[in-house]
Structure formats: structure tokens, C-alpha cells
């Protein structure tokens, strides 16, 4: 018992010093100001990257128009609205994590997100650009797998950041099912025989 009390007493000063050091590292007002600065950077950046990634392929092609659409395929306008909202939420979540100075696991969380986001940006290029539905499904699968450690890492740094990413995770799962349904409905892979100059967009 005496040893336990001594051990506890020996730990308290170091724990108190560590907590004091974290408080000195950044006050609440400093963290808040840091978040707003990072949000002003991260949100436009994520939206811009998403926009540029979307330019790496297009649904307005003869190949995509020739595909049989699954029953769960949403109206085309829904994709732009959904991704715009999701990219803003992702940017805010990322800003919350980056601005958490001194938080344990902050660096890992940012790296894990960066690795994951590569798959996010690659899907359009593979599915629409290369017209490869199977490849698109693989990319989405990797995206779903790599978002799991991101959610875990974000939660450890800032729980609210992980909660902001949950709708995005749900959308990735839906997109994976939709991609798979495209493969089922179009076992031949679609019509790639016509030149893209002959595309007529069906509204």
C-alpha cells in the first residue's frame, strides 16, 4: 500500500506538468482562431480538389449513356449537390484535426486522410475516364477500407471531426453498391465502339 501511494504521488507532478504544458501550448481562443484559419484554407482546397478530380472524366459520354442504369441510380443533379455538401463537411473536419495543436495522433490522422483522399480523387478518372467499372469498384473498395482508420484517427483527435465524416462514409458505401450494380446490369462493359465526338447527352 505504501508503495502504491508513493507511486501515485510520484506520478501526479509529472501529469500536472504535462497538462500545464499542453495548456501553455495553445489556449482555447488560440485553438478557435487556428481552426477558423485552417477552415478557410481546407474547405476551399477540398472543394477545389474535388472539382478538379471530377474533370478527369465525365458522365456525358456515349459510353455512359449506353449503360443500363440500376434502379438505385439517383437523378444526376443529386451527385453535384451531395458532393458539394460532403466536400465542405470534409474540409471542416480536416480543419478541426489540423488545428488541434498538441493533440495525440494528429499527424497520423492527417496522413491517413491524405492517403485515403487519393482514392476519392482517382475514382472519376478510372470509372469515367478509363471507362472501367471493375477498376472503379476496386478504387471505391480501397476508399471504404482506408476511411475506417481515418474515422478512428479523427475521433481520437476531435470526436466531432469523425462525426462530420460519417455521412461521407455512408455515401462511399452507397457509391460502392451503385458501382457494383452498374457491373451487374452491364456485363459487357458498355458500348465503347463509337467515337466520343458523336455523343448526344440525353436530358
Domains with residue ranges and CATH for the chain: 2-198 (1.20.1260.100)
Whose CA is closest to 102, among 27, 18, 25? Answer: 25
Radius of gyration of the chain (CA): 23
Q: Is the dihedral of CA 138, 95, 155, 115 positive or negative?
A: positive
Q: pLDDT over 70 for what percent of the chain?
A: 80
Q: Is the dihedral of CA 180, 182, 186, 188 positive or negative?
A: negative
Q: First CA to last CA across the chain, in angstroms?
A: 79
The predicted pLDDT at position 154 comes to 97
Q: pLDDT over 90 for what percent of the chain?
A: 68
Is residue 102 very low, low, confident or very high in pLDDT (cuts 50, 70, 90)?
confident
Is residue 42 very low, low, confident or very high in pLDDT (cuts 50, 70, 90)?
very high
- Whose cell is 492527417? That residue is 110
Res. 124: pLDDT tops 60: yes
Mean per-residue pLDDT for 151-159?
97
Specify the pTM. Answer: 0.80
Amino acid at each position: 500500500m505504501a508503495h502504491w501511494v508513493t507511486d501515485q504521488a510520484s506520478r501526479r507532478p509529472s501529469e500536472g506538468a504535462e497538462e500545464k504544458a499542453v495548456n501553455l501550448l495553445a489556449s482555447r481562443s488560440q485553438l478557435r482562431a487556428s481552426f477558423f484559419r485552417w477552415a478557410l484554407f481546407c474547405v476551399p482546397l477540398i472543394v477545389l480538389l474535388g472539382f478538379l478530380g471530377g474533370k478527369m472524366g465525365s458522365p456525358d459520354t456515349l459510353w455512359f449513356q449506353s449503360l443500363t442504369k440500376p434502379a438505385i441510380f439517383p437523378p444526376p443533379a443529386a451527385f453535384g449537390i451531395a458532393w458539394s455538401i460532403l466536400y465542405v463537411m470534409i474540409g471542416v473536419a480536416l480543419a478541426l484535426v489540423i488545428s488541434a495543436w498538441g493533440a495525440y495522433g494528429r499527424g497520423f490522422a492527417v496522413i491517413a486522410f491524405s492517403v485515403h483522399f487519393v482514392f476519392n480523387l482517382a475514382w472519376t478518372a478510372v470509372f469515367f475516364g478509363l471507362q472501367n467499372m471493375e477498376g472503379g469498384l476496386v478504387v471505391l473498395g480501397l476508399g471504404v477500407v482506408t476511411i475506417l482508420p481515418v474515422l478512428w484517427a479523427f475521433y481520437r483527435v476531435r470526436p466531432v471531426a469523425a462525426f462530420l465524416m460519417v455521412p461521407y462514409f455512408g455515401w462511399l458505401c452507397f457509391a460502392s453498391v451503385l458501382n457494383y450494380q452498374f457491373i451487374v446490369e452491364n456485363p459487357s462493359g458498355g458500348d465503347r465502339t463509337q467515337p466520343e465526338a458523336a455523343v448526344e447527352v440525353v436530358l
